[in-house]
Amino acid sequence: MYVWDPSENYILRDGSIESRLETLGASFGAELFEFNHKYMNQLGLSLPNVLYLDRTKSSYPFDFAMVEDVGNVDLPKYIQCHPESKKDVFEKLNEMLTKMHSHKIDKYGQLNKVAEILNQSSPLEEVILENSLQDLEYLSENVTSIRKNKDRLTEVLYSLYDAVPPRKEYGMIHGELGPDHVFVRQNGQPVLIDIEGVKFFDIEYEHSFMKFRFNDDYDYLRYENLDAHRMRFYKLHLHMSYTSGPLRVVQQGDFPDIEFMRDITKYNLKSTLSFLLE
């Protein structure tokens, strides 16, 4: 069962996030889930079937959906139980991602909004730069090690941005694809979950994220011909984003698993600062 209760979305509580959603795209809500599910189904991607979806709030004060039970076994758990199937499962996942990433258009943004866009004056990498600078400003105000190195990190960020060549073609990405966002059916077929953030974007964004989320298993999903400059630029952006976002949640103080958020913050803070050693 999926539940979209705004009171439990700790990221959206921070008002400063709203402007970012207009450019990077939202990743929460039944409307997005419904649209993305239909769109992705038409491409033949493997998803849990939707049995019932209610956006009326007539029964509960939130939107919800009943979806197919695909076994509640995520990718790491499945591989732990079926190590002999690891290569086959990753090949199927890679095939699905290839289909997604190869589905391209000349605009970036949410699946349900790109058709309305007539002109995008700002290149995607410029939007990412602006968001990264916002993250850096916030972090410099709240993290001593970032404050001490703000100027150097700004220089590194601009250097990586300047190296990114122009592009006007974008593939479909999941947006936050880690091992925990892939479930596996009993027959070994991987299934994508948490699809609200699916959008058209640089596929290097997805690969930069997958590279540190899948660790050594990323080799099963590695692509040739990715733009190395974009990979580096997005890697720094993502580490700063995943430092500032969880830190904001930690500062709210009422997240159920606060230590988990602290661990995410610490890991990404360390990864952000590592760019100063290269």
Domain ranges of the chain: 73-277
Q: Is 73-277 CATH 3.90.1200.10?
A: yes
pLDDT confidence tier of residue 109, bands split at 50, 70 and 90: very high
Query: What pLDDT digit, counting tens, does each position of 213-247 carry?
Result: 999 999 999 998 899 999 999 999 999 999 999 99
- The residue length of the chain stands at 278
pLDDT for residue 8:
65
Q: What is the pLDDT of residue 273?
A: 98
Residue 76, classed as helix, strand or coil, is helix
The model's pLDDT over 17-61, given as tens digits with 9 standing for 90+, comes to 555 555 566 667 889 999 999 999 999 999 999 999 999 888 888
Determine the 3-state secondary structure of 30 from DSSP.
helix
Please give the average per-residue pLDDT across 150-168, as a whole number.
Answer: 97
The answer on pLDDT for 257 being more than 70 is yes
